[in-house]
Structure 1
Amino acid sequence: MQSDAPRRPVTIITGASRGIGAAVAERLAADGHDLVLTYRDRESDAAEVARACEASGARVLLLRVDLADLDAAAAVVPAAVERFGTVTGLVNNAGITGRIGGFLDGSIDESELLFRVNVLAPIVLTRAAIAHMATDRGGAGGCVVNISSGAATTGAPNTYIPYAMSKAALNALTTGTSKEFGPVGVRVNTVSPGTTRTEIHAAAGRPNAPDERAPGIPMRRPGEVHEIAGAVAYLLSADASYTSGADIRVAGGN
């Protein structure tokens, strides 16, 4: 096991203490990745995810990071390189929705925080990761996966338009960076979940939102976190070696 460590992929996952991030971490650990997992709070949950990943053979660095603090976000990739010597993958998963409600009822302060976490932090992290990975800078290539949302294309009227805007920006990050850095060995892709059974809905004030929305989903159910994790794992695998600039929509037919 120890002799294999230098050849193992090393992937950063933001927001990995629960939900989609935790499922992605556990899936990648099972697939042979070493991991850098960030979390903002819920330390006991993050530690439990780390233990589960270690039980699958992964080496894990757990970092407490508030991604609204862009200086703290900028320290994640250097910390990963210091611990493991390299970074081969980045999953920009962490995000917040803001409160569910009409557009005119929203707070600009809440929207500003949302954009710091959902857009500016991924820009900071992606810049640092690509600077390390790019072959024209001495890197060995790598892959970035942005966790977007089906809301990016629907606009999420009456729900959370600023959140939808932030995810549309993340989609543009994928499109632009995949084209700019494809020639230097960096693939960038998006996974866009539809309504998925996670705690993010409770944080937005509608804990029953997944089941409430189920009748409007062609498959008549919300997604489960492991179904999102499978798409992320594919994009980070050798099977996706010619896949870049893609958006895999995991949304039950929506």
Structure 2
Amino acid sequence: MTFARYVALGDSQTEGLGDGNELDGYRGWADRLAERLAGDNPGLGYANLAVRGKLAAEVHAEQLAPALALRPDLATVMAGMNDLIRGGFDAARVVGHIEAMFAELTGAGATVVTVTFPDIGKITPLATPLRSRVLDLNARIIAAAARHDVLVVDTYPHAVTTDDRLWSADRLHVSPLGHARITSAVAKALSLPGDHEDWTRPLPLLPRRTPWQATVTELRWLASFAGPWLYRRVRGRSSGDGRVAKRPELAPVTVSAHGPGGRHPE
């Protein structure tokens, strides 16, 4: 497939958190995918409307209309995790918003790709009770995608998607390596030309942590990341408050020094 206009919709993963920093900016899997696409089509226009912290309803309400106005022939939609980790989660309502985006984008002629979620209980043990939510959400996303001929990258069945090395220290956002794997997964789903690495390939085994090391790691995570996140929730605040999309208009893509797609060394 060749594309002229790629628009990415979503939250922090699509914005690129975990792959860069606040000072220099974030790259992320969608930027990497745009670079890979531009390697074969230098005239590609790319917009990234994703904003961290957004719920599926907010992605739908705030990003769909601007995306349609850009007339994409390729769109990616990744949303739902911010809903899943909050109280009052309703998978049917969340996927209703996601499916509405699928319907509008495919109806406008775009090829659409979406991504399901991994077993977050294996990433963060305290999130194990949310496993049933992940399974419910994923099943509904896959069913909605089938109804609208949307391509799906299904992460849940693959053990590597819960490997610590694919995740940042906050365990909410994937690392540069994780972003590179998502890029490869979406490229494969799109059957893009080129040599695609196997994004499901396990990483080399690491020495097993002792119980003491595991306990210290969990305590540090609670103090550094879980605590501040809960504090924002109590105050009714979101990490996306006051933020706007980093790339709201279609613009040419500059290919990174890492090469198209910016593969991360493993």
Q: So what's the TM-score if we normalise by structure 1?
A: 0.52
Check if 1:202 corresponds to 2:189: no
RMSD across aligned positions (CA): 4.4
Aligned match of 1:216: none
Matched position secondary structure for 2:163 = coil
1:85/1:69 Cα in 2 relative to 1: closer, same or farther (>3 Å)?
A: closer
3-state DSSP of counterpart to 2:72: coil
Q: Give runs of aligned pairs for residues 173-252 of structure 1, distance below 5 A.
A: 173-182=140-149, 186-192=150-156, 193-197=161-165, 201-202=169-170, 224-238=178-192, 249=200, 252=203
1:112 alignment partner, SS class: coil
Q: How many residues align?
A: 183
Q: Closer, same or farther in 2 for the Cα pair 1:59/1:179, shift >3 Å?
A: closer
Residue of 57, 73, 89 corresponding to 2:60: 73
Call closer, same or farther: CA 1:72–1:6 in 2, change over 3 Å: closer
Aligned-pair CA distance for 1:25:
1.8
1:133 maps to 106
1:232 maps to a residue whose letter is: V
What letter corresponds to residue 6 of structure 2 in structure 1?
A: P
2:87 is aligned with 1:112? yes
| Alpha-carbon shift at residue 235 of structure 1 (Å) | 1.6
The 5-angstrom pairing of residues 34-49 of structure 1 reads none
Q: Distance in 2 between matches of 1:60 and 1:145?
A: 16
- Equivalent-residue separation in structure 2 for 1:231 and 1:69 (angstroms): 22
CA distance in 1, matches of 2:3, 2:83: 38
**Counterpart residue number, 1:103:** none
Deviations 1:109-149 (A, max 9, x none): x6426x47x88555413322323314xxxx32522221410
Structure with the higher fraction of residues in helix conformation: 1
Corresponding position of 1:145: 114
Tell whether the 8 Å contact from 1:24 to 1:232 is kept in structure 2 after alignment. no
Distance in structure 2 (CA, Å) of the matches to 1:227 and 1:63: 19
3-state DSSP of counterpart to 2:8:
strand
| Residues 70, 124 of structure 1: 8 Å contact kept | yes
Residues 32 and 58, structure 1, Cα contact 8 Å, conserved in 2: no
> Does residue 1:124 correspond to 2:129, yes or no?
no
Unmatched runs of 5 consecutive residues or more in structure 2 = 20-25, 194-198, 206-266
Q: Any gaps of 5 or more consecutive residues in structure 1?
A: 34-54, 99-109, 211-222, 240-247
Contact 1:126/1:144, CA 8 A, preserved across alignment: no
Deviations 1:193-249 (A, max 9, x none): 222446654267xx9xx9xxxxxxxxxxxx64312321122223446xxxxxxxx75
- Residue 86, structure 1, aligned to residue 53, structure 2: no
Q: Whole-Å Cα distance in 1 between the matches of residues 131 and 204 of structure 2?
A: 19
Larger relative contact order (Cα-Cα within 8 Å, sequence gap ≥ 6): 2
TM-score (norm 2): 0.50
Alpha-carbon shift at residue 30 of structure 1 (Å) = 0.6
Query: Residue deviations 1:57-107, cap 9 Å, x none?
Result: 65334454642372453231111112x123522231573599xxxxxxxxx
| Alpha-carbon separation, structure 2, partners of 1:160 and 1:11 | 28
Structure 1 residues 61 and 27, CA, compared in 2 at 3 Å: closer, same or farther?
closer
Classify the secondary structure of the residue corresponding to 1:10.
strand
8 Å CA contact retained: 1:29, 1:56? no
Identity %: 14
